[in-house]
């Protein structure tokens, strides 16, 4: 029997996904696997907010084994997150929060939302990447509402847990991941940062030949520079130093990272060894990413 992958079948599936995204009660699989977690953690949420609630619990690693299965590829919540990453129309919260910004700063991508040509096709992440680029580009003085910034930050942070949640990066670096990172991921136990950390290491050492992959890694590094919380590995390494040295510095606009970099340069302040090592590595990565982005659009 032929696989159900023809354009008409894909269109029907995508139409169903849009309905499920608007109201998670219509998502039979999500309800079946996560019913107990929804009752326990998200009983006050309605519509698309149910999945948003479960996604927060996903980050907190509190979901039951039935809802959050051991195999990430079978995990129902992660599967829904991947679907959202591919098309902003499935991420109702982001679309509502950033509609004005998208219309103003990403007009070509925004038009696709209501274009009949794309009514039954996924946008493959391009819309969200445009918003992320606007959010992270220091050369553009654009204004984003706080609600839109919050949604974009959430998308960036979630994609740190699974590279598939950044479809454009994953597509650009898929062959590099296969060649360079498979052994690294296995060695490090397949933890959430394994693939991205492998790519960043190869990027730093000039081991990535694919220019599109290098450009997408540079974009990711520019995004993480906005706020230390968007780089979980660095944030974990420097959490105590931030609390000790930068406790009265507000987050955002690279302020906490600048505070740490200033402390690292100071002869009278000592960073913890783990923080100093990771911050030095990240600073080298940011400098390299900046050079890549000068020569191309990240």
Does residue 118 lie in a domain region? no
Does residue 247 lie in a domain region? yes
Does residue 265 lie in a domain region? yes
Residue 182's domain comprises 162-297
What integer pLDDT is reported at residue 165 of this predicted model? 86
Q: Phi and psi at residue 169, in whole multiples of 5°?
A: -65, -45
What integer pLDDT is reported at residue 2 of this predicted model? 43
**245 contacts: CB under 8 Å, gap ≥ 6:** 259, 260, 263, 269, 271
Query: Tens digit of pLDDT per residue, the chain (298 long)?
Result: 444 555 555 444 545 555 454 555 556 667 777 778 788 878 777 766 777 777 664 544 566 666 755 333 346 667 777 877 888 888 888 989 999 999 999 999 888 888 888 777 777 777 788 888 888 876 665 788 999 999 999 889 888 878 888 988 999 999 999 888 876 665 555 454 578 999 999 999 999 999 999 999 999 999 999 999 999 899 999 999 999 999 999 988 899 999 999 999 999 999 999 999 999 999 999 999 999 988 777 7
Distance CA 273, CA 275 (A): 5
**Would you give the DSSP letter of residue 253?**
T
For residue 20, give Cα distances in angstroms to 29, 89, 125, 144, 249: 10, 11, 19, 28, 41
Please state the domain count of the chain. 1
Tell me how crowded residue 66 is: count the other CB atoms within 10 A of its CB: 13
What integer pLDDT is reported at residue 273 of this predicted model? 97
Does residue 203 lie in a domain region? yes
Does residue 117 lie in a domain region? no
Does residue 2 lie in a domain region? no
Q: 3-class SS at 176? A: helix
Distance CA 83, CA 78 (A): 9
- Joined together, the tokens standing for residue 134 give 């606007």
- Rounded to an integer, what is the distance from CA 198 to the centroid of its chain? 16
SS (H, E, C) 194-234: HHHHHHHHHHHCCCCCCHHHHHHHHHHHHHHHHCHHHCHHH
pTM of the model: 0.73
Does residue 137 lie in a domain region? no
What integer pLDDT is reported at residue 185 of this predicted model? 60
Tell me how crowded residue 188 is: count the other CB atoms within 10 A of its CB: 14
What integer pLDDT is reported at residue 139 of this predicted model? 65
Does residue 30 lie in a domain region? no
**Angle made by CA atoms 244, 248, 252, in degrees to the nearest 5:** 105
Q: Phi and psi at residue 44, in whole multiples of 5°?
A: -85, -5
- Rounded to an integer, what is the distance from CA 15 to the centroid of its chain? 24
């Amino acid at each position: 029997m032929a696989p159900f992958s023809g354009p008409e079948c894909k269109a029907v599936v995508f139409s169903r996904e849009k309905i499920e995204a608007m109201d998670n009660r219509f998502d039979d699989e999500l309800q079946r696997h996560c019913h107990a977690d929804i009752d326990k953690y998200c009983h006050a949420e309605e519509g698309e907010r149910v999945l948003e609630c479960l996604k927060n619990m996903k980050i907190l690693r509190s979901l039951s084994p039935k809802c959050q299965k051991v195999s990430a590829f079978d995990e129902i919540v992660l599967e829904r997150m991947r679907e959202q990453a591919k098309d902003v129309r499935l991420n109702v919260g982001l679309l509502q929060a950033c509609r004005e910004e998208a219309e103003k700063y990403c007009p070509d991508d925004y038009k696709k939302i209501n274009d009949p040509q794309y009514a039954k096709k996924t946008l493959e992440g391009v819309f969200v990447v445009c918003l992320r680029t606007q959010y992270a580009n220091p050369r553009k003085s654009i204004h984003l509402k706080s609600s839109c910034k919050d949604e974009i930050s959430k998308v960036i942070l979630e994609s740190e847990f699974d590279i598939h949640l950044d479809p454009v990066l994953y597509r650009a670096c898929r062959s590099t991941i296969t060649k360079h990172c498979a052994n690294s991921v296995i060695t490090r136990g397949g933890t959430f940062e394994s693939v991205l950390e492998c790519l960043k290491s190869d990027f730093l050492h000039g081991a990535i030949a694919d220019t599109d992959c290098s450009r997408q890694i540079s974009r990711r590094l520019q995004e993480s520079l906005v706020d230390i919380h968007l780089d979980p590995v660095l944030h974990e390494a420097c959490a105590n130093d931030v609390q000790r040295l930068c406790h009265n510095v507000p987050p955002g606009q690279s302020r906490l990272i600048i505070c740490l970099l200033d402390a690292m340069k100071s002869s009278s302040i000592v960073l913890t060894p783990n923080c100093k090592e990771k911050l030095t590595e990240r600073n080298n990565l940011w400098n390299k990413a900046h050079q890549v982005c000068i020569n191309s659009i990240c």
